[in-house]
Structure 1
């Protein structure tokens, strides 16, 4: 460009700066030198380099750059604040992120959905789901509808903290907004309910997930297996015989695999409940999937049949006949 007589503009420098900062293999010091050679860096220049510095864990330099930007009378934009807030939240510096958010609002810069989502995600991961709910309400009041990622962060955070009632309310709000929960979102709530000893509610949400047409694919296959196994296991732990078997049959009908440990649990569960027909049904399903029952599984079902008087009596008679022979 220079050889042709063209003088690089700030926009030209920004393109090159973006390339340096985006390339993980490129030394960030090269980007810093390039930035210092820009005659008149603008907000985009500062934003790009700050993101690059944060990305390489050079937070102190990034924050110094922010202070320099303000000192040089270059007004921070929504992108500037969102970049800083997002990285502070990722690093777990939640108080600093909230302080930056408040400063942003005081300056009259309106946060966008990305700003809110970044901060909410950090708060939820940091065990401060209550604060994330306040921000979620604020988004709605400002007519900035939360997206699926935002809702997913909040529900996950609430489930981790055992605040399942609020998580269910947020899921309802999400659906009223016309957003469809995916397998990951349903899974967080379902597994949370199972862990809390509320398997019937978990099974109800599993039914909702199936009715909503959320089907497994190559990406979500293992997640669907984990969700269904969790519900069956939790129902067995609560003695819900009929519901456990219905969920199991539904899983089979939809072609979702069952873990060997869950197979064994069902055999043991039905044998203890003296429901040997269902136990035998599960064993046959295991064999059809080439999942060979181990010795413990065989012992459970054989012991169940052995406890039947008729079977024991006939076996004893046969044994006596063999002894005579």
Structure 2
């Protein structure tokens, strides 16, 4: 099918039809002709939508024609066409591919101006570009940016990656302030619990120890996950250690944690240790209530 045939629009020209033709056309020059010929139908009531704009922008980016791609973004804004997050990210990734991370950041910062609120996916994508291009030292991301990225990984249940960025914060000596501290505490607890759920107990325990060292509050859910998972694995030494630290922190073990610890000892016929543990904890509670 030649270009001349492609330009013969029926009266029922629709964005979906234009999108279909654009996706099928591998030649960028011909794709531009298809797009422009559809634009010529504005006088007949046709309008490009985010799908046709998105495909055309993607093709321009693939050919490293970034200026026309960004000009098309501006055209979408002028025509009050919805600009999706994926359209912005296609340009950001394109700049990352040709090793222009600062341009990726520049486009990323435009999102709010276009009424497109960045989600966790955006922060993760742009952060990955910066890591790949070794640009983090120069840009000095703060705890707020790290928090958004880590939260994004938690939301998509990639807890190992989230833990890696928590480590990056420590290595980069990036500390949360009073505004971001509560989120930082929540994220640390979420990551530990997620690592436990995924069976990565050694990593979870390592992060737990780091939390204690840095004075990050450990919530009941984190203690619960660690104790039960280590009991299930048969590592009674760690489970009892965490249990003791839980009590020392003033966090009262619930029935589930008691059952897990005592059950762990019972399964290994260590009844004496289980009995002694119960007696010690009951004595502590008795002394505290006197």
Q: Please say which of residues 201-210 and 247-256 is displaced more in the overlay.
A: 201-210
Deviation at 1:103, TM superposition (A): 9.6
Q: Is structure 2 residue 123 aligned with structure 1 residue 150?
A: no
Who is 1:214 aligned against?
174
How much is the aligned-residue C-alpha RMSD, in angstroms? 4.5
Task: Flag the structure with larger Rg.
Answer: 1
Partner secondary structure for residue 290 of structure 1: coil
Q: Is structure 2 residue 142 aligned with structure 1 residue 169?
A: no
Q: Is structure 2 residue 103 aligned with structure 1 residue 160?
A: no
**Contact 1:175 1:181 survives alignment (8 Å):** no
**Contact 1:270 1:279 survives alignment (8 Å):** yes
Who is 2:141 aligned against?
181
Normalising by structure 1, report the TM-score: 0.50
Matches within 5 A, 1:24-173: 101-102=74-75, 128-130=87-89, 133=92, 146=105, 150=109, 157=118, 159-160=120-121, 164=124, 167-173=127-133
Bigger relative CO (Cα 8 Å, ≥ 6 apart): 2
Structure 2, unmatched stretches of 5+, are 1-52, 54-70, 276-290
Return the alpha-carbon distance in structure 1 between the equivalents of residues 111 and 168 of structure 2: 17
Normalising by structure 2, report the TM-score: 0.55
Are residues 144 and 313 of structure 1, via their aligned partners in 2, closer, same or farther at CA, if it must alter by over 3 Å?
closer
Which consecutive aligned stretches of 4+ in structure 1 deviate over 6 angstroms post-superposition? 134-137, 312-315
Structure 1, unmatched stretches of 5+, are 1-94, 106-121, 316-325
> Deviation digits for residues 12-50 of structure 1, max 9, x if unmatched?
xxxxxxxxxxxxxxxxxxxxxxxxxxxxxxxxxxxxxxx
Who is 1:261 aligned against?
221
**Contact 2:185 2:217 survives alignment (8 Å):** yes
Who is 1:305 aligned against?
265
